[in-house]
């Protein structure tokens, strides 16, 4: 029998406001624990940051890190002392010092390290931010190429992410593996109900809610959703759009002005960031989850919606769209205004029976593709295979 594993996850921040990777690590830790493994976390947050103490794993906070590169002089010496205590190091994200430090410490200790790019090799960024891409190309040649090349595995969450990754930077040499990503509902999520959200927003009872859940960011296609909703809102006076998420870039004011100009401001509710029962209640209260993003590597909120039986309406730039559409758990269109209008119009054209059928398919899709149990099992199997190849006893 394979022995239990001890794995160290390295991530820039476990602050939940940063969304996907932090929540993914939270889910991975819990799933590994159920399988009898131990996952610890090394973060570049400061030890005094409130979210560090609440993270559900042993967490080593070595920050605060400096600048976008995330440099802290404490990181490399700590890893050099402790890398050999773990069966593997798992790096989350690119373009920062923790990847470089993990590579050095892992190679010196003889321990394997794995890298989750989390969509950061997607070619969309090359077109959307050519200046940043040029800087990243220089850094790729200087350091990141070696981090990818020497990793025992470069872990992708979807087949689409794995397909796109080699097209962005050259030279590219990697050992790819598609392990998926996902979540499992905790007790609070399982006990939640739509009322946990509707108690906060009683005026929304009886409305047909379309839910956006995520950061308010230009990449997410929030403007497309507001404009498409304005075009179709007259089809049913019960339709209401809920925009739930933190506004770190100041985007909400412009989106609200857009809604006012189109006469639908009273039919859009801005909730800010939702957590705990309020978040799960919003997902359960929604008729559909909508994400018309221009680029989305995985979209943990997609998995959250499916986990409670809420169909997902996605752009084809959300890398999980194929799994969702093939399972009959949602729909996908282009990340354009016509595409987003068509996406909402297709949903509105469904009969009640068809929508119920799609809700059942959403639950099945989650269990098959996006439950954290499966991705944790695949990660453990990969680490065990690396140990066997290196001659370590199982």
Q: What are the structure tokens assigned to 108, written together?
A: 């010196």
The class of domain 187-370 in CATH terms is alpha beta
Domain with CATH 3.40.50.2000 in the chain: 6-182+372-389, 187-370
pLDDT tens for 219-275 read 999 999 999 999 999 999 999 999 999 998 899 999 999 999 999 999 999 999 999
Q: How far apart, in Å, are the Cα atoms of 243 and each of 151, 209, 298, 299, 363? A: 39, 10, 19, 16, 23
The pLDDT value recorded for residue 276 is 93
Per-chain mean pLDDT for the chain: 95
The pLDDT value recorded for residue 394 is 45
Q: What are the structure tokens assigned to 284, written together?
A: 């359960």
pTM (two decimals):
0.84
Label residue 354 by pLDDT band (50, 70, 90): very high
pLDDT tens for 315-340 read 999 999 999 999 999 999 999 999 99
Whether pLDDT at 81 is above 60? yes
Least confident span in 6-15, 121-130, 223-232: 121-130
d(CA 46, CA 278): 28
d(CA 272, CA 34): 33
Label residue 1 by pLDDT band (50, 70, 90): low
The pLDDT value recorded for residue 181 is 86
Label residue 35 by pLDDT band (50, 70, 90): very high
d(CA 285, CA 106): 46
d(CA 188, CA 298): 23
At the fourth CATH level, which superfamily is domain 6-182+372-389?
Glycogen Phosphorylase B; (3.40.50.2000)
**In angstroms, what is the C-alpha Rg of the chain?**
21
The pLDDT value recorded for residue 138 is 95
The pLDDT value recorded for residue 128 is 85
d(CA 189, CA 184): 9
Q: How many CA atoms lie within 13 A of 208 on its CB side?
A: 15
């Amino acid at each position: 029998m394979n022995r239990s594993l001890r794995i160290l996850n390295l991530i820039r921040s476990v602050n939940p406001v940063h969304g996907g990777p932090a929540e993914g690590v939270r889910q991975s830790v819990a799933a590994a624990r159920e399988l009898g493994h131990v996952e610890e976390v090394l973060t570049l947050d400061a030890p005094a940051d409130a979210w560090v103490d609440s993270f559900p794993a042993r967490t080593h906070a070595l920050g605060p890190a400096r600048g976008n590169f995330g440099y802290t002089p404490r990181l490399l010496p700590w890893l050099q002392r402790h890398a050999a205590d773990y069966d593997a190091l798992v790096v989350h994200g690119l373009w920062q010092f923790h990847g470089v430090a993990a590579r050095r410490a892992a190679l010196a200790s003889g321990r394997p390290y794995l890298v989750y790019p989390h969509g950061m090799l997607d070619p969309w960024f090359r077109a959307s931010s050519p200046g940043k891409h040029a800087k990243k190309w220089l850094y790729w040649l200087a350091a990141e190429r070696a981090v990818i090349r020497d990793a025992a595995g470069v872990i992708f969450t979807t087949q689409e992410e794995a397909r796109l990754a080699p097209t962005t930077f050259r030279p590219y040499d990697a050992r790819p593996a598609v392990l998926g990503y996902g979540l499992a509902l905790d007790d609070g999520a399982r006990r939640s109900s739509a009322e946990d959200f509707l108690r906060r927003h009683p005026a929304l009872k009886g409305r047909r809610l379309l839910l956006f859940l995520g950061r308010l960011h230009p990449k997410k296609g929030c403007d497309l959703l507001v404009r498409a909703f304005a075009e179709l809102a007259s089809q049913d006076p019960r339709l209401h759009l809920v925009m739930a998420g933190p506004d770190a870039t100041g985007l909400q004011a412009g989106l609200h002005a857009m809604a006012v100009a189109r006469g639908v401001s009273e039919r859009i509710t801005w909730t800010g960031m939702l957590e705990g029962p309020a978040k799960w209640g919003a997902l359960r209260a929604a008729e559909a989850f909508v994400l018309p993003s221009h680029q989305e590597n995985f979209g943990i909120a997609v998995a959250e919606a499916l986990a409670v039986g809420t169909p997902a309406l996605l752009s084809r730039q959300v890398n999980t769209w194929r799994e969702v559409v093939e399972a009959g758990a949602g729909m996908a269109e282009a990340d354009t205004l016509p595409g987003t209008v068509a996406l909402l119009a297709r949903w509105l054209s469904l009969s009640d029976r068809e929508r119920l059928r799609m809700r059942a398919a959403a639950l099945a899709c989650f269990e098959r593709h996006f439950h954290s149990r499966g991705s944790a099992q695949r990660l453990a199997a990969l680490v065990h295979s690396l140990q066997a190849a290196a001659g370590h006893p199982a």
